[in-house]
Chain A
Amino acid sequence: MTSPDTDTAVPRTTDPGPTLVLPAEADGCPFDPPSAYRQAADHAPVTRTELWDGSSCWLVTGHQEVRAVLADQRFSADGRTPGFPFLTPGRRELANRTPAFIRMDDPEHARLRRMLTTEFLVKRVEDLRPALQRIVDDTLDRMVAGGGPADLVTEFALPIPSLAICLLLGVPYEDHEHFQRQSSILLDITAAEEQVAGAQRELRSYLAALTADKRRAPTDDILSRLAVREDLTTDEAASTALLLLVAGHETTANMTALSTLALLRNPAQAARLRSGPAEAKVAVEELLRYLTIVQLGLPRAATEDLELGGTLIRKGDGLLCMLSTANRDESVFPGGSDLDLDRDARRHLAFGFGVHQCLGQPLARAELQIALRTLFTRLPDLRLAVDEDQLSYRTTMVVHGVHSLPVAW
């Protein structure tokens, strides 16, 4: 590990493979990762890739290698670590602001995450199921009452997680149009730096004001519990609330709409989902694996020289962990390019891995299980109201999905 490659900043590897420029353009089936990522994965689990600013980093595509990186804290998730890869100028802009704990390393990350862990315990979310079922039923009632066709994204998929996270966090749902618009800018990789900075400023000041209100008059919700803590600044509380608000609704919403489309294309599979709550649990894990909506690689930077899948990674190298290709790794999921709701998909990495693994996953699972099962049970004739080739996909967003999904029933 000593020979200095001073002439090139590129670490040595046995065979880096063809250089790929990121983010790769979507092509082919909207449910499959872009072919450029699949080709990289076929070549080797760790390959070289180039970013928009001409810098290069490692593309990690294998299941074992993605797990190894995400479980090892010598790979930093802090945007200020030298070599941290940014997919766009907007992403880099975000890293310069007060980050939330998703972009911090331990011990700071653990300190902030642990303030929330009891909020998302599996059994706590189990207790929330009746409330979530009510949200789903009411939302579906409203969609049906409006008469078909309806846009499933705005009428069903988005309101459910928004209502749920507003309820838990203590954010007034009346403000949802405002925060949904701002958070979609944050997750749009084509948004300009100033736009991203503006959206973040908006949301932060909105949440900081709300935090101050809660501190004065606490209610029974997460934001109030954060606001009254003495070991947390208003700034930190607002950053944490922002993370929960953004992470908590776009992801589940897109997963709901994209899952619905996948099931409409595979009616035999949809029958599986209807058969019972236990089947719905198995089905949702497979949908999480197959659709892997976090379509951009999870960024990390090496803080030491390390070996990964036979490749030497140098201190200061950036890495992007591709959950989508890891979740189709044939060595773990044979026939993984197909959706198979009978599959035991629990080894999927759709929620990431390691200390940053999704905090909201019990909530996301419960929302998806209830929403999809209720939708397909109550509307057995659910169908697309447009030709499939008219749908447009969220190919330039951090979270994959479909922009709108007109349905009839």
Chain B
Amino acid sequence: MLVSVDQDRCCSAGQCVLTAPTVFDQSTEDGYVQLLQERPEPALAADVRLAAALCPGRAITVSESA
């Protein structure tokens, strides 16, 4: 699983941090999403997928094949 984030789409609602705190963080400087790891281990896959679905700005992309 490969995760990417698009800060331009992020509206800092924090759903990602609540759902998968070891994968996403929010910058204390500007509130934008920060990716902590691009290739989370399979145990985190369900949380990361849910975070992508919950993200109100659709700023999180998960590619399963990569």
Contact = CB atoms under 8 A, between A and B. Distances in A.
Interface string A92-121: 000000000000000000100110011011
Interface of B: 11-14, 17-19, 25-32, 50, 53-54, 56-58
Interface stretch (A133-141, A171-179, A189-197, A356-364): A356-364
Contacts of B25: 123
Given A117-B12, A362-B14, A357 B56 contact: yes
Nearest to A357: B56
Given A121-B28, A122-B14, A71 B58 contact: yes
B26 A121 contact: yes
B26 A357 contact: no
Interface of A: 70-71, 110, 113-114, 117-118, 120-124, 346-347, 351-355, 357-359, 361-362
The B contact surface, by secondary structure, is loop
Contacts of B30: 114, 117-118
Contacts of A114: 12, 30-31
17 contacts: A114-B30, A117-B11, A117-B30, A118-B28, A120-B12, A120-B14, A121-B14, A121-B26, A121-B31, A122-B17, A122-B26, A123-B26, A354-B11, A354-B56, A355-B11, A357-B56, A359-B13
B54 A347 contact: yes
Contacts of A346: 19, 50, 54
A361 B19 CA distance: 14
A71 B56 contact: yes
A351 B31 CA distance: 18
Contacts of B29: 118
Contacts of B56: 70-71, 352-355, 357
Nearest to B30: A118
A118 B13 contact: no
A113 B12 CA distance: 9
A198 B19 CA distance: 42
